[in-house]
């Protein structure tokens, strides 16, 4: 078998926060992967080739041999079971449930409401001026909930002193809130502190949008 044929393949878009989560997970687990860019602005997610991988047309998609997994939550759970090195879910059941709750607030109650398709719909059907207020409302609502959920559990990171699943979902969302939607993080001191902690981790920094091969050149 040719060298590299068994390498993981990640279909990703540089700016996608869902892809960002998985890039962090792969980095933390020390897994090499082939980065395959999917340009969402050009509509490459609607190509027949990509639709075979994920019929709904979203990134990321992970290919591991014969396995094809889409959706960042599903990919994370697959990686955690298939590649148990550097576990990202605590063994303690209560802490594990806390991680699921925090990750789900991001993946269900914040990120879907700011994705490209939703913002395009609002721009076309409502008004271009409503895109940012809409997004900030939902991000801030989610950030407020996350602060309340984590305030009695956070250590250096979201649910303690070890990086866990919640951090992988929080980091890209916090960054998007700051850089793309101008969220005032002074309202969310716990999340601001976590963001500073993430900035010290090379696995997080290397996964950032601007460090991806398909990011526009400066």
Q: CATH code at 138? A: 1.20.1050.10
For residue 36, list its beta bridge partners.
11
Q: How many domains does the chain have?
A: 2
From 21, 53, 86, give the residue that closes a domain. 86
CA angle 6, 81, 2 (to 5 degrees): 5
- Residue 217 — very low, low, confident or very high, per pLDDT cuts 50/70/90? confident
Summarize pLDDT for 34-70 with one digit per residue, the tens: 999 999 999 999 999 999 999 999 999 999 999 999 9
For residue 115, list its beta bridge partners.
none
From CA 149, how far away is CA 174, in angstroms rounded?
A: 16
Tell me, yes or no, whether 211 lies in a domain: no
63 and 98 assigned to the same domain: no
Residue-number span of the structural domain to which 126 is assigned = 93-204
- Residue 4 — very low, low, confident or very high, per pLDDT cuts 50/70/90? very low
Tell me, yes or no, whether 214 lies in a domain: no
103 and 181 assigned to the same domain: yes
| pTM for the structure as a whole | 0.94
140 and 192 assigned to the same domain: yes
Tell me, yes or no, whether 200 lies in a domain: yes
């Amino acid at each position: 078998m040719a060298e590299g044929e068994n390498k993981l393949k990640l279909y990703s878009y540089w700016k996608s926060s869902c892809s960002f989560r998985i890039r962090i997970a792969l980095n933390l687990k020390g897994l090499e992967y082939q980065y395959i860019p999917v340009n969402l602005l050009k509509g490459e997610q609607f190509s027949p080739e990509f639709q075979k991988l994920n019929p709904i047309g979203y990134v990321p998609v992970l290919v591991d041999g014969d396995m094809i997994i889409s959706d960042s939550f599903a990919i994370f759970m697959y990686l955690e079971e298939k590649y148990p090195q550097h576990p990202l879910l605590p063994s303690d059941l209560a802490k594990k449930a806390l991680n699921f709750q925090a990750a789900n607030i991001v993946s269900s109650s914040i990120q879907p409401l700011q994705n490209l398709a939703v913002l395009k719909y609002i721009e076309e059907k409502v008004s271009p001026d409503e895109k940012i207020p809409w997004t900030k409302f939902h991000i801030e609502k989610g950030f407020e909930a996350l602060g309340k959920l984590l305030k009695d559990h956070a250590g250096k990171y979201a649910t303690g002193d070890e990086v866990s699943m919640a951090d992988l979902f929080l980091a890209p969302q916090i960054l998007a809130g700051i850089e793309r939607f101008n969220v005032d993080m002074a309202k969310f001191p716990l999340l601001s502190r976590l963001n500073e902690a993430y900035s010290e981790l090379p696995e997080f920094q290397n996964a950032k949008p601007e460090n991806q091969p398909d990011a526009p050149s400066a």
